[in-house]
Structure formats: structure tokens, C-alpha cells
Structure 1
Amino acid sequence: MEERLQISTTKVHRLIKNGELMATKEPFKAHGRYIIDKESANRYIESKGTTQSMPSSYYNLKQQIYMYQPFIQTGTNQLIRVMDIDNQETLFQTKDQHILSFHEATALHYKPLQPLVKKTYIQKKGDVRFQFHHPLSLNDRVYDVIDWLMSEVGYLNLDIQSDNGSILVSVKERTLETNQSYEFITYLQKHCIDGDVQMNDGFIAFISNEQYTALLLHQEIKSELKAMAKERNGSISDVIAELVKKREKYFEIQFK
């Protein structure tokens, strides 16, 4: 249902709490689950229009926050994490799966445990990608990985997305000095779905599978690609990579 509504699970819970979506709760695992009324969902979709989409950015510079960022409450040390970012509001989740808005969290004296970090943007192309199951616990290791990556590589060299119960993380190819444990590195290697992670003498290397290639293009084609890149706020190589990726199945058939 979240995919149809084009909003996150956290936002769905917020809308139910505010009475903007009608739903009934049924027993399911530890915390239960909501069954959303179809007519209520249709009304919400109609009221928001069909062009609404999930946020493309996983961070908000104005609020200095990023997805899954940890916040600690002054005095109690209670932990919450950012679970949804869009143009309208930022939502946090408590360990009991209660939802707080950014203003509510601020009023309750929650402060970031790991800040949004800016590091020099790595111009070199190539990413290493990871996929993690979306955990129930706010103290899960996947969040430790995200917080560590934010601290070490910064938001410009990192991308975090949520997709069908999974957390997808992309990191720019690079080498870092680290004192992380063998178990931590093994955890990264286990969840790496594209590229490689190697550890050697106190350094961890994120190695991309993507490689450079040269193309000789007609001027008209290059102009079209340049226009497409401008629309996407990217580069020509980004557009070409996107087009090739869409034809992966075609290439698999042709080269068998």
C-alpha cells in the first residue's frame, strides 16, 4: 500500500494517527500492522494528485538531518531516528514505534548524536552498493554502518534509499583508514551487492565494479545526451549508464 500511496511506512503511520487515513490494526509479529481502508487511500491519492513521489534526497541541509540519523534526548538518553524526509515534514521513530515530527522532537530536547557531515566530493565515478533488511531495532548494526559512513565519507559521497523493506546504500569508491573490527568489515562484505569491500593493514577499500569506457558519438546524439543530463542535474556519463542499465536484459540475451 505504501508504494501505491507513494509515501513511506512512517508517513503512513503519521497520517493514520492524524486521522487522514482510515485503517484498522491487526495482530502481526511484535507491534501489529495496519490495514488501510481502500476508499480512504483513494481519497488521499486524489487529494494529493498522482504526481507525488518519494523524496529523491536522503538529507535536508536546512534541518541538517539525514535518513536514519540518531537523535538522543537530553537527560534521558532515549534514542530516536529519522525515518522519513520530505518537503512537508521530517518524521522520527521511537523504540516503541511512536512517530514524532521534527518540531515535536525538538520540543522534547532531542539532539543529533551523529551530525550531517560534509566532506570533499569525490569526482571519480564509481559506487559500491549495499542492501540491508530494514531492521526493527533502532540499535541495529545497519544503523551503525550508516552513521559510520556519514562520519567518514560525508553526505556528498553517500546515498541512502528505502525500497520494499530494504535499505539501499551507495558509497563512492575510495579507501579509508579505520580501526573497525573484523566482524564489522565482514558484515559490510556480506551485504555488498555491487562492488567489493577489502580490508588490509588498517585500511578499508570500497572498490567499484564500474569502469570507464570511451565513446565516439555524433554531435546530434551528444547534444541530446547533454540536454538529458541537464534535466537530471547529472553528467552525460550518468545518462549513458542509465540508458545502458535499462537495456541490461537485452545485452544478456545478445551475448549469451
Structure 2
Amino acid sequence: MNSNNYITTKEVAQRLNKSISTIYRYVNEKKLRPVYEDKWQIDSSLLFREEDVDRLIEEQQNKPGYTTGEVAAKLSKHPSTIAMYIKTGKLKTEKREFKGRILNFISEQDLETLQKEIGEKESGYISIFNKQHNIHLYQSFQDSKGSKARIMSLDGPGVAELEDGNRIGIERLFQLGYTPYYNLKPQRYVTKKGYIQFQFRGSINPKSIHINIIESLIINMGHKNVKLREEEWGLNLYVKPGLIRNNDNLYLTYESLNSYLVDGYLIQRHDGILLQTDYMPILAHVSKSTKDNLKHYSKISKLSLDDYVESILEKHFNEIKDLNNN
């Protein structure tokens, strides 16, 4: 513990049972104020007053979640849109009493999941997970006779393709008695910076090797750590850094993955294949007004602050190259 009843970001996270990134989000949302408004840091940590942390703990213990109005504000959506999310099952609510009123509350975890899904969809990424059925895009199914099927789309009611080529809705797939080859295991979101990128050119169909590799990556890394973007020529696939452990999956060999790799690198290990990015941290000091402008325009660009700064630097270096080549 620090002097003057000050505690560090890590200590706050431990008290609240939250991640450090969540504590920084609380600071940005003004739920928690650091001792120094200019976010002065010591030992790479903000400092907080104990009484402020205790107050937030009390508020969180008493309040069972976010109201629909708060969720609408956080997502910058109209309340009618939030009502639609609830009606369609995209957002789960629970009726709880709070300050003498019965209100619908949304958990922080469900809100964060929806924020991620909306952000990816608005950025052109394909929806790859259906929370209601706990299934993912390109997941394999079979019926009691061994006939196979594959999830081909999760937009709207979703689409599954049967072994004979017929396409049906996901609800119909379950009605016909098809079940997944495997049950999805919960995986934590990887917070390491960046993605490893793979490209799969050509059409994606239930019998292609591409679809088997994508499915295997989702199984091994978890749907939270995989993103897909559809292009005219095929698919871009982005995977968070991590280890693909050795198993009986023949599709995820070092050679097969390396043949589709376009960004990042792979390391063959005794216990599997390590997926790694080439991101390195840098330290820079800028004026408060410059930092405020970076945060403002990164939000407009729908990019994280890191990604926005990187895009500016890449643009600058490309301009220098063009000047040197002319």
C-alpha cells in the first residue's frame, strides 16, 4: 500500500476483481478519478484514494448491472435498438429491484461482448459467433445417421449447408436432429497487442481445406480471438497471439498455416505452434492537447489509440518513401 492512503491501479483491480484495462476504462468514463487529474503516474501506475475505491465498490455491490438507458448511451444507439437486441436475444437482461424500482439490467460481461460484436460488424468483419445457440461460423454438425452439415452464415436466422448441398436455417438444422461434432469450450480474450493474419483465396465451401483450417483455428484459439473479413478474392483471417497445442487435428500443421500467413510469424515448438506478432512497445511523451487530439480522432476513425497512432506513422513513412523515390 502507498502512503497517504493511495493505492495503485493493480491494487484497485484486485479489490474490484476486474482487469487493469477495465480500471483504465472506469477512469475514462469518470467512474473513478485518479489522485492527479493529469493522470500523473509513478512506477507505471495511476494512484487512487482508498475512499474513492471503496465508494465504487459499494456502488457496484448495490447495483446489479447496467440499465437499458446506460447501455444505449455506451453503445451510442437509440433505446429502440437496445429493445430490439433484447427481443432478438442478442442482449440478455435480468429484472432486479434497485432503489425501490424494478428495472431491466444488463451484466458488464454481456455489454462488453455486444460492444465487441458491434465494433467488428461496423468495421466490416463477419459475424462468427451465435451466443444463443453457442455455435460459430463454419462449425461442423452431424445427424444420427452420420450425415454432415456446416454452418455457413450467422447473419439473420443463419444458414447451414447439408451434405447434399441444400441450405437450411439454423433452427431447422436443430429440428432435424443435427448436433455439433464438439462442444465449444470457453476461452479468455487475449489482450496481447495485434493479430496474426492469414489469407484464404478463392471460394469458401463446406468441402474446402480452407474452411477446415478456419474451423480448427476457432476451436483452438476461441471465437473471441478470431476475426474474419470477407474480400472480393476470398477471406482475411486475423488471430490473436497464442499457442496452438499439439493434438490430433491434421489441418493445423506448421506447413499448412505458414502457406497462408501474410503478417506475423509462426514458431514450431515441442508442444505446438506459437502464433506471434511483430509488435513492439514504444514510449513517447507529447503535450496534453496532442494526446487529446489523438484520442478524439482515433474515436472518430473507430480505431484504438494504438492503431490510430500506428496508421499515422505508417502514412508518414510512406510519404517519405515516395519523396525519396521521386
- Shorter-chain TM-score bucket reads 0.5 to 0.7
Structure 2 residue 138 is matched with structure 1 residue 68: yes
Asked whether the 8 Å contact 1:128–1:209 carries over to 2, the reply is no
Q: 1:77: how far off?
A: 2.1
Asked whether the 8 Å contact 1:131–1:166 carries over to 2, the reply is yes
TM-score (norm 1): 0.66
Paired position in structure 2 for 1:175:
243
Q: 1:169: how far off?
A: 1.4
What RMSD in Å do the two structures reach over aligned CA positions? 3.1
Q: 1:54: how far off?
A: 5.4
Matches within 5 A, 1:51-200: 56-72=126-142, 74-86=143-155, 88-135=156-203, 137-179=205-247, 184-200=253-269
Kindly indicate which of the two structures has a greater share of residues assigned to strand.
1
Q: Which amino acid aligns with 2:192?
A: K
Gap change, CA 1:231 and 1:92, over 3 Å in 2: farther
Gap change, CA 1:82 and 1:231, over 3 Å in 2: farther
Task: Show CA shifts across 1:155-207 (max 9, x none).
Answer: 12211232224122111122333146698220100110111112132321112
What is the rounded CA distance, in whole Å, between the counterparts of 1:80 and 1:244 in structure 2? 46
* Secondary structure at the counterpart of residue 92 of structure 1: strand
Kindly indicate which of the two structures has a greater share of residues assigned to helix.
2
Identity of aligned residues (%): 20
Q: Which amino acid aligns with 1:84?
A: S
Asked whether the 8 Å contact 1:195–1:208 carries over to 2, the reply is yes
Paired position in structure 2 for 1:237:
306
More off after superposition, 226-235 vs 162-171:
226-235
What is the rounded CA distance, in whole Å, between the counterparts of 2:250 and 2:163 in structure 1? 26
Paired position in structure 1 for 2:287:
218
Asked whether the 8 Å contact 1:67–1:160 carries over to 2, the reply is no
TM-score (norm 2): 0.53
Q: Whose relative contact order is higher, 1 or 2, with alpha carbons under 8 Å and at least 6 apart?
A: 1
Asked whether the 8 Å contact 1:129–1:169 carries over to 2, the reply is yes
Task: Show CA shifts across 1:200-229 (max 9, x none).
Answer: 323211121332223333322322333455
Asked whether the 8 Å contact 1:158–1:172 carries over to 2, the reply is yes
* Structure 2 unaligned residues grouped into runs of 5+: 1-121
* Secondary structure at the counterpart of residue 83 of structure 1: strand
Q: 1:239: how far off?
A: 2.7
Asked whether the 8 Å contact 2:212–2:251 carries over to 1, the reply is no
Aligned pair count reads 203
